[in-house]
């Protein structure tokens, strides 16, 4: 049995063409079904539907052999025990710093004052501001980070941005881009040894279906 961990939503949708290239069709619709283990057309391949932030953990501990997860989630997890063979070039966005439109970010970081930053991505934020020599107080949130500067709880947020629509709707502006984000294939290292053939076949099929941007 080969088990692949995925999260619902954007990553799941964009993974379907890759699964198809590997000859895998999902028999249940994860948006409708309450099942957490989805069958596929292949009797020895199944999918786990887990929270996006849990995908690396399921693969690390062998609950799944393979997983698809954003680079952001992977960096926060740390990547222990995971082989990362492919950048799948899906679910693309960027990790950015954003502030209220009336906040003078340039002066704040130049003056060496401490910046209060709200984010779900504390490891990425810590590393980024440390590399710039900016002192930060981090506030960990689990969602709707855009609110924090609006209610005076933080000077800035670190969040993923796609179209920029969410920032704009909340009168926030992007002041720095930290990194480009896309989703990666991760593989449990022990599973790769024990189930080398079937896992290799999936990696190769995914590799052949990656659409590299022009
Ligand atoms: P947007 O308004 O298009 O900039 O999208 C911003 C929001 O959508 C962010 O706050 C994220 O929660 C979410 N988002 C956008 N793209 C991604 C992605 N590739 N992976 C995870 N979340 C995303």
Is residue 214 situated within a structural domain? Answer: no
Atom of ligand 1 nearest to the CA of 161: 4
- Of ligand 1's listed atoms, the one at least distance from the Cα of 159 is 10
Q: Give all strands (DSSP E) within 51-155, no chain letters.
A: 66-70, 82-87, 93-100, 115-119, 136-140
> How far, in whole angstroms, is CA 50 from its chain's centroid?
13
- CA atoms 17, 21, 24, 25: torsion sign: positive
Q: Are strands 156-161 and 93-100 parallel, antiparallel or unpaired?
A: antiparallel
- The confidence score (pLDDT) of residue 166 equals 97
Identify the residue whose tokens are 């340039």.
106
In a domain, 35, yes or no: yes
pLDDT for position 31: 85
Each residue's pLDDT tens digit in the chain (214 positions)? Answer: 999 999 988 999 999 999 999 999 999 888 888 999 999 999 999 999 999 999 999 999 999 999 999 999 999 999 999 999 999 999 999 999 999 999 999 999 988 789 999 999 999 999 999 999 999 999 999 999 999 999 999 999 999 999 999 999 999 999 999 999 999 999 999 999 999 999 999 999 999 999 988 7
> Is the distance from CB of 44 to CB of 199 less than 8 angstroms?
no
On whether residue 199 sits in a domain, the answer given is yes
User: Is the distance from the beta carbon of residue 93 to the nearest atom of ligand 1 less than 6 Å?
Assistant: yes
Same domain, 130 and 142: yes
27 & 55 share domain: yes
Give the integer Cα–Cα distance in Å for 211 and 89: 7
Distance 69 CA to ligand 1 centre (A): 14
Classify residue 151: in a domain, yes or no. yes
pLDDT of residue 157: 98
As a whole number of angstroms, the distance between CA 66 and CA 4 comes to 5
| 41 within a domain of the structure (yes/no) | yes
> Cα separation of 74 and 76, whole Å?
5
pLDDT on residue 75: 98
Q: What is the pLDDT of residue 84?
A: 97
**Residue 55 sits in which domain range?**
2-91+182-209
Q: How remote is the CA of residue 95 from the centroid of ligand 1, in Å?
A: 10
Spatial contact of 3 and 21, defined as CB atoms under 8 Å apart: no
- Per DSSP, helices labelled H in 22-137 are 55-60, 71-77, 105-110, 122-132
């Amino acid at each position: 049995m080969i088990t692949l961990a995925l999260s619902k939503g954007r990553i799941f949708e964009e993974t379907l063409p890759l699964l198809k290239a590997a000859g895998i069709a999902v028999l249940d619709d994860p948006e409708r079904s309450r099942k957490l283990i989805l069958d596929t057309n292949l009797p020895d391949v199944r999918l786990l539907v887990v929270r996006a932030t849990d995908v690396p953990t399921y693969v690390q501990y062998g609950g799944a052999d393979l997983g698809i997860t954003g680079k952001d989630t992977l960096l926060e997890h740390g990547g222990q025990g995971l082989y990362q063979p492919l950048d799948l070039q899906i679910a693309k966005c960027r990790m950015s710093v954003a502030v209220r439109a009336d906040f003078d970010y340039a002066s704040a970081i130049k003056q060496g004052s401490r910046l209060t930053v709200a984010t779900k991505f504390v490891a990425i934020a810590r590393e980024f501001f440390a590399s710039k020599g900016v002192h930060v107080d981090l506030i960990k949130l689990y969602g709707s980070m855009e609110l924090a500067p609006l209610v005076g709880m933080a000077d800035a947020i670190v969040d993923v941005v796609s179209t920029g629509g969410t920032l704009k709707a909340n009168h926030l502006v992007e002041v720095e881009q930290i990194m480009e984000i896309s989703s990666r294939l991760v593989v449990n290292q022990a599973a790769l040894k024990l189930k080398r053939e079937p896992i290799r076949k999936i990696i190769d099929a995914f590799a052949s279906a990656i659409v590299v941007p022009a």
